[in-house]
Amino acid sequence: MSNRAGDAGALWGGRFEGGPADSVAALSRSVHFDWRLAAYDIAGTRAHIKALHSAGYLTVPELEKLDRSLAQLLERIQDGSFTAKPSDEDVHSALERGLIEIAGSELGGKVRAGRSRNDQIATLIRTYLLDEADHLENLVLQLIQVLTDRAEENLAVAMPGRTHFQHAQPVSLAHHLLAHAWPLSRDLERLGEWRNRARLSPYGAGALAGSTLGLDPHLVAKELGLSGPTQNSMDATASRDVVAEFAFICTLIGINLSRFSEEIIVWATAEFDFIKLDDAYSTGSSIMPQKKNPDVAELARGKSGRLIGDLTGLLATLKGLPLSYNRDLQEDKEPVFDMVDTLSILLPAFTGMIATLTFNKNRLELLAPAGFSLATDVAEWLVKQKVPFRDAHEITGQLVSYCEKNGLELHQVPDSEMAAISKKLTPEVRDVLTVTGSIKARSGAGGTALPRVIEQISALRKLVSKGAGE
């Protein structure tokens, strides 16, 4: 009897008199992108045959031969001597063909009992993403470490803090840099929470309703390093919320890089002149010899859009699928594969850019008090003199208006003119009209004062150390 799996690299065929049309075969084929799951498929199969043996469907010699055959197949994949053929529909059919070539059709043909491609791929995408999550976590930790290092180097440097991209209040450069580290730390928290949901194994769900063969899904889960089987076989094969959640976290990482990139791009302009980019992390112009372009930041900004597109496409695929498995789910893999590849390239380059750029400290400190950024300090000083904040806000606004009309900064207003605006503006107000004093005074939880910044650095270093230890 013809074995379509062995002959043509497919896992079905007996019910059909012929194979699919060429166009259908081309449409169905996924092996060109899901081949990266080959090692995970083999790991799943090695766990599965142990369950088959435990349930009495394989003898010890059969189990041992299959395990050796699978190990040999993995070696052939790794050295390139076994690859997918155009006739292989997907990674699963290709690997079954490879196993049959080594173990023989009779023994190799026993392996498929008690499982479906549906529960296979639902498990494999989880084990793959769990490994990639570890990889991405390490890259994000490296960036957090660099941000923390750069913050510690610049504890005493002041800069203009902004809201609405307008001068708002002075902050320390260290505080600003750490404000980009904390969102990344929350991305790592999300990855940790995601792992708890991803570590459940759909193996044993079969096509949708489970198996009648009495295989132990707990055994398979344990062999794969997962915490246990999923609770519902239909949900196990049909749901990809775990994949979508991973994609969301990747997108957030990209968005966090993009937000910082916006600042890097602006800071590098002649108008701002806050930073100088290292030659190794910038590019030149093909026509303008003087140019140094912030390409890493621009590419980070662009690739964040790509990540958003991957996530959106995945969600659009999932939104209309009835229970249980549908072939649409073939489209769940390429988006996250692209996300993993994108962040794997982007994060090291972005980290290198931050590690090597030079801050123009004089420029930053010169502009720290610009735009009347100490006005809030004046208003809060008045509050401390028992002035209601509504009145303090009005008085300070009048002081700013006077400065604008007369081309003065806040600290340049004569005592007599301050008193004319309000008798509450006594000469003692000058104690808060310094950038250093403003920053020092903001010592509440999460503030920009030095003790609070040092606390942040300590907390982030513990996070990096814990992550590196895991």
CATH number of the CATH domain containing 411: 1.10.40.30
Residue 11: which region, alpha, beta or left (left: phi > 0; alpha: psi -120 to 50)? alpha
Enclosing H/E stretch for 119: helix 117-153
Span 399-454, pLDDT tens digits: 999 999 999 989 999 999 999 999 999 999 998 899 999 999 999 999 999 999 99
> Is residue 60 exposed (0-12), middle (13-18) or buried (19+ Cβ within 10 Å)?
exposed
Q: Does 416 lie in the same domain as 349?
A: no
Average pLDDT on 233-259 reads 98
8 Å CB contact between 433 and 427: no
Q: Rounded to an integer, what distance in angstroms lies between the CA atom of residue 337 and that of residue 327?
A: 18
Q: Do residue 339 and residue 418 come from a single domain?
A: no
Could you give the CA distance from residue 411 to residue 402 in angstroms, rounded to a whole number?
Answer: 12
- What is the per-residue DSSP string for 30-60? -HHHHGGGHHHHHHHHHHHHHHHHHTTSS-H
Amino acid 20: pLDDT:
80
Helix H or strand E segment including 359: strand 358-359
Q: Are residues 75 and 133 in the same domain?
A: no
Instruction: Give how many domains the chain has, as a whole number.
Output: 3
The mean of the pLDDT values for the chain is 94
Q: Are residues 188 and 317 in the same domain?
A: yes
Close Cβ partners of 5 (under 8 Å, ≥ 6 residues apart) = 11, 12, 13, 93, 96, 97, 100, 109, 112
What is the share, in percent, of the chain residues with pLDDT greater than 90?
89
> Are 168 and 162 in contact, with CB atoms under 8 Å apart?
yes
Are residues 310 and 184 part of one domain? yes
- 443 labelled catalytic: no
Boundary (domain end) residue, out of 343, 366, 389:
366
Judge residue 17's burial from the number of C-beta atoms within 10 Å of its C-beta, 0-12 exposed, 13-18 middle, 19 or more buried: exposed
The answer to the question of residue 411 being in a domain is: yes
Tokens, residue 244:
């979508």
For residues 323 and 354, membership in a common domain is answered with yes
- Both 176 and 293 in one domain: the answer is yes
> Which is more confidently placed, 431 or 267?
267
The answer to whether residue 164 is catalytic is yes
What was the pLDDT predicted at 290? 79
Residue 57: φ, ψ to 5°: -95, -10
pLDDT band at 340 (very low <50, low <70, confident <90, very high): very high
With respect to residue 456, please indicate whether it lies within any of the assigned structural domains. Answer: no
> Are 255 and 362 contained in the same domain?
yes
At 305, which CATH number?
1.20.200.10
Candidates 433, 78, 48; CA nearest to 216 is 48
Min mean pLDDT across 8-12, 335-339, 346-350 is at: 8-12
User: What is the model's pLDDT at position 239?
Assistant: 97
463: in domain: no
Half-sphere exposure of residue 369: CA atoms within 13 angstroms, side-chain side: 18
Residue type, 390: R
Q: Is 357 left (phi over 0), alpha (psi -120 to 50) or beta?
A: beta
Number of other residues whose CB lies within 10 A of the CB of residue 122: 27
| Of 14-28, 68-82, 265-279, 450-464, the least confident | 14-28
pLDDT band at 4 (very low <50, low <70, confident <90, very high): very low
> Is 281 within a domain?
yes
Q: Is residue 380 part of a domain?
A: yes
C-alpha closest to that of 221 among 209, 208, 236: 236
The 10s digit of each residue's pLDDT in 123-174 is 999 999 999 999 999 999 999 999 999 999 999 999 999 999 999 999 999 9
Are 138 and 153 in contact by the 8 Å Cβ rule? The answer is no
What DSSP designation does 432 have? G
Is residue 417 included in any domain, yes or no? yes
Element (H, E) at 95: helix 91-103
In order of 42, 70, 213, 224, the CA distances from 57 in angstroms are: 19, 18, 9, 20
pLDDT tops 50 at residue 2: no
Tokens of 369: 């008090």
Q: Among 123, 91, 82, which residue's Cα sits nearest to residue 10?
A: 91
| Structural contact between residues 11 and 100, judged by C-beta atoms closer than 8 angstroms | no
Evaluate if residue 300 carries a pLDDT over 50.
Answer: yes
Q: How many whole angstroms separate alpha carbon 316 and alpha carbon 334?
A: 14
Report pLDDT for 213.
Answer: 97
Q: Scan for tokens 């498995």, then name that residue.
A: 325
Same domain, 416 and 341: no
- C-beta of residue 137 within 8 angstroms of C-beta of residue 143: no
Q: Which of 285, 344, 401, 443 is catalytic?
A: 285
Nearest by Cα to 402 from 420, 428, 427:
420
pLDDT at residue 286 in the model? 81
- Same-domain check for residues 47 and 178: no
Q: Print the domain residue range for 208.
A: 118-151+172-212+222-366
Which domain-ending residue is among 366, 391, 419? 366
Asked if residue 185 and residue 145 are part of one domain, the reply reads: yes
From the candidates 2, 81, 164, 286, give the one annotated as an active-site residue. 164
User: Considering 336, 366, 396, which residue would you say is the last residue of a domain?
Assistant: 366
The C-alpha atoms of residue 244 and residue 314 are separated, in whole angstroms, by: 7
Note whether residue 41 is domain-resident: yes
18: left (phi over 0), alpha (psi -120 to 50) or beta: beta
417 in the same domain as 335 = no
Token pair of 234 as six digits: 């239909």
Single-letter amino acid, residue 267: W
Which amino acid is present at 430? R
Q: What is the CATH number of the domain that holds 108?
A: 1.10.275.10
pLDDT of residue 9 exceeding 90: no
Note whether residue 396 is domain-resident.
yes
pLDDT band for 468, please (50, 70, 90 cuts). confident
Helix (H, G, I), strand (E, B) or coil at 211: coil
The owner of tokens 């690299």 is 9
